[in-house]
Amino acid sequence: MEIARHWRLKQQRYGLVGEVCPHCDVKIFPPRDVCPECGGEAKTLYTFSGKGEVYSYTTIYEAPAGYDETAPYTVALVKLEEGPLVTAQLTDVDEESVQIGMPVEMVTRKLRQDGDERGMLVYGYKFRKST
Amino acid sequence: MTDVIIAGIGQTAVNEHWDVSLRELGLFALEAAVRDAGGLKPQALFVGNMLAPNLSRQAHLGALLADFAGLTGIEAVTVEAAGASGGAALRQGYLAVKSGLVDAALVVGVEKFTDVVGSEVEAALSTASDSDFEAMQGMTPTAQAALLMRRYTHEYNVPADGFAGFALTAHANGAGNKNAMFQKAIKPDTYTRASMVSDPVNMFDAAPLADGAAAVLLTRPDLLPPGFPHPLVRIAGSATASDTLALHDRKDMLFFEAAYLSTGKAVKQAGITLDQVDFFEYHDAFSIYAALSLESSGFSIRGHGWKLAADNRITRDGSLPCATMGGLKARGYPGGATGVYQAVEAATQLRGQAGANQLANIRYGMIQSLGGPASTAVTHILEKVS
């Protein structure tokens, strides 16, 4: 399902590609084409380093359909070192050890499984503890 | 311009209505409101609903309910703004009557959660967040609230049971509401011992999803039927505002900008100051949302919203009674019907028909309907006409 949609987002999912505003240099993720700071057009692509820290986090036990196989899992708001926040799952971590401020880095992992007809797997960014 | 009067109110009990369909729920509330208004005939129907296309595979609720109620021919549309759908539908009904283009408008909020269960409900709920960049990560509305509550607790050093007052107040008030899902007060240690839903959100920080429908019939004062039996309640202020859909796109996520903006406009339109608001029906889908609504609307300074609950200032005899009929937590959270329940409950209070939960000496009630983490906020001021 939704093959074109996942394909359209491949740069963001696999490469954390956002935008940089040519007018005020603000870094933008997810891409939104209009700079949230100055209102100018911002379509210049920018690849984020994938490094950041945990701004907030929680654990999901009752997961939406398509994600039940991996529950429970930890989700976080990650503050990227270039500025923006991103919503992402944390992976390869013991949830007890997660703290606000913990340094993390982007990795590519399986996001969800289509339980229905095609069995397509969706990959994308998650974050793991970095040193 | 004309005053807009809430001439009729109706509601179903909020519960798991396995034996009642979406259309039957809507019809029950709709007919009750028309009856309560002395049989006034509506020319327009605004339906507040959040997830019927998803949960019941039923869109086009305007035509469906108008048809089922024997009102075929009238203007009838659905208004959707996630959890704020009911408030947004009320706003549309208000605008229609206020403009003079519609004499009487029915606003029905209806939600049927129990036609599916478990992970299918979570998947449906997550469609109200940013599908590409939140839901795709497996996020849920409960997890969004948990992210906010964790950060809030971190920044303001809130103690472990700091939010308990919201659930205690809600359940104490639910005890006096025969339409509430939970009609029993709870003890402080019930909150403390509650299991975690999404840490730090525990079971008593999250409102229960359930089925329900509520309706109001709006009209002009000169069109009320002769011998209209109820004290008049008018909509004195009405406003809606939006914020970023995704939490990660907010510059300051511990402030509900849309609640701030819509409250400011509604209060200004009503020609009052915030301290004249006698009670507040907030959108406590999660206790952190109640705290942030109190702060963003201006009832508390930032970081202190939880203290209003902890210090018993939002109980029925407190300085700002909140969730006076149980709120979302105890009355139950019927999705897009919720904002209309708030209007029905506030009108009930202002008419003096709230029974055991009746507040004394009240003139202005404020109701606020939120979509997601206040990505939409709809605020109304209701006034008892003296």
Q: What is the pLDDT of residues A51-86, one digit of tens each?
A: 999 999 999 999 999 898 889 999 999 999 999 999
Contact between B25 and B211 (Cβ < 8 Å): yes
Are residues B147 and A76, on separate chains, in Cβ contact within 8 Å? yes
Are residues B119 and A68, on separate chains, in Cβ contact within 8 Å? yes
Nearest 10 degrees: Cα torsion B156, A59, A97, B306: 10
Nearest to A9 among B120, B132, B247 (CB): B132
Are residues B123 and A64, on separate chains, in Cβ contact within 8 Å? yes
Residue of B nearest to A32 (CA): B249
Q: What does the pLDDT read at residue B139?
A: 97
Are residues B122 and A64, on separate chains, in Cβ contact within 8 Å? yes
Dig out the tokens for A52 from the structure.
């950041």
The domain limits of chain B are: 5-117+209-223, 124-207+235-384
CATH for A3-129? 2.40.50.840
Dig out the tokens for A110 from the structure.
């399986």
Interface test with A, best of B54, B119, B156 (most A CBs within 10 A): B119
Rounded to whole angstroms, the Cα distance separating B307 from B302 reads 11
The nearest CA of chain A is from the CA of B368 a distance in Å of 26
Percent of residues, chain B, with pLDDT higher than 70: 100
Contact between B5 and B221 (Cβ < 8 Å): yes
Are residues B139 and A75, on separate chains, in Cβ contact within 8 Å? yes
Dig out the tokens for B373 from the structure.
């983490």
Is residue B154 pLDDT above 70, yes or no? yes
Beta strand pairing status for B196-198 and B212-219?
Answer: unpaired
CATH for B124-207+235-384? 3.40.47.10
The domain limits of chain A are: 3-129
pLDDT confidence bin for A131, thresholds 50/70/90: confident
| Average of per-residue pLDDT across A95-117 | 88
Length of chain A equals 131
Percent of residues, chain A, with pLDDT higher than 90: 79
Q: What is the pLDDT of residues B249-275, one digit of tens each?
A: 999 999 999 999 999 999 999 999 999
Check: complex ipTM more than 0.85: yes
Question: Is the N-terminal amide bond of A30 cis, ω within 30° of 0?
Answer: yes
Q: What is the pLDDT of residues B93-132, one digit of tens each?
A: 999 999 999 999 999 999 999 999 999 999 999 999 999 9
What are the φ and ψ backbone dihedral angles of B331, each rounded to 5 degrees? -65, -30
Q: What is the pLDDT of residues B174-188, one digit of tens each?
A: 999 999 999 999 999
Chain A residues in contact with chain B using a Cβ-Cβ cutoff of 8 Å: 5, 9, 12, 30, 32, 36, 55-68, 70, 73, 75-77, 84-89, 100, 111-112, 122, 124
Q: Which CATH superfamily is domain B5-117+209-223 in?
A: Thiolase/Chalcone synthase (3.40.47.10)
Contact between B234 and B4 (Cβ < 8 Å): yes
What radius of gyration, in Å, describes the C-alpha atoms of chain A? 16
Are residues B120 and A65, on separate chains, in Cβ contact within 8 Å? yes
Please report residues of B whose CB lies closer than 8 A to that of A101: none
Rounded to whole angstroms, the Cα distance separating B23 from B384 reads 32
Contact between A112 and A122 (Cβ < 8 Å): yes
Q: What does the pLDDT read at residue A1?
A: 60
pLDDT confidence bin for A117, thresholds 50/70/90: low
Dig out the tokens for B117 from the structure.
């269960």
